[in-house]
Amino acid sequence: MAKRRRTRVSTGKEATVSWTGGECRGTLRDVSLKGAYVRLTNGLPPDRGREVTLTIHLDPGAPEADVRVRARTVRTESAGVALDFVEVPADTFPHLFRLVQYNAPRPEEIEGEISEPAFDLGD
pTM of the model: 0.87
Contact 32, 48 (CB under 8 A): no
Question: Can you give the residue ranges of every domain in the chain?
Answer: 14-105
Quick check: helix, strand or coil at residue 23? Answer: strand
What does the pLDDT profile of the chain (123 residues) look like in tens digits? 344 567 889 999 999 999 999 999 999 999 999 999 999 999 999 999 999 999 999 998 899 999 999 999 999 998 999 999 999 999 999 999 999 999 998 888 888 887 665 444 454
Q: In the prediction, which pLDDT does 110 show? A: 87
Q: In the prediction, which pLDDT does 120 show? A: 46
Fold of 14-105: Thrombin, subunit H (2.40.10)
DSSP3 helix / strand / coil % (the chain, rounded to 5): 15, 40, 40
